[in-house]
Amino acid sequence: MKKIIAGLFISLDGVAEAPATWHFPYFDDAMGAAIDAIWTRSDTMLLGRKSWQEFAGFWPSNPEAEGADFMNGIPKLVVSNTLDSVDEWQNSTLLPGDPTETLPKLKEGTGKDISISGSLTLTRALLQAKLVDELHLLIHPIALGSGARLFDGGEHVPLELLSSTTFPTGVLHTVYGPA
């Protein structure tokens, strides 16, 4: 059975919005290896609309960027109620219906795991539906004060710490599973 593995860059105060504006000073080889380890386990990427649009605006036009081969080559399932087409980025397919109903069937399939990169709203919904098997948080040593947070609606999502590693930059890589 496939697992759904979600990964987020997050600040000390729980902000996961717009990491491109604050996370790069903390990126190092250790973080790159952690991200590569998730990617290596995956043969499908699941993305929400906002993350897909952001990624689709960068990766296809930057084929020389580190990670571009993976990002452009992996099949991408896009969760959106507003997009009509995702044809502008290769290997992208709209995921029809409610993802909390369609993903359990996909998890039963063969192959590698399904990874989620970013996609805060989607990750939050799948955590609440108990469909995320591993939540990788790359907690950066910075408080941002404002921005969308992973948990900000008063929801309760019990999790169990599976592992933690501290990178030389002070980023803490925690892995949680359902409690």
Place of tokens 């590698």: 112
Q: Which domain holds residue 124?
A: 4-178
DSSP-derived secondary structure for 62-94: -TTSTTHHHHHHS-EEEE-SS-S--TTSTTEEE
Q: How far apart are CA 176 and CA 179, in angstroms?
A: 9
pLDDT tens, residue by residue, 112-143: 999 999 899 999 999 999 999 999 999 999 99
> For the chain, how are helix, strand and coil distributed in percent, rounded to 5?
30, 30, 40
CATH number at residue 173: 3.40.430.10
> Which CA distances in Å does 10 have to 120, 122, 142?
10, 15, 9
pLDDT at 26 over 80: yes
Helix (H, G, I), strand (E, B) or coil at 59: helix
pTM above 0.85, yes or no: yes
Structure tokens at 90: 């290769």
The number of domains in the chain is 1
What's the rounded mean pLDDT across residues 106-116?
Answer: 93
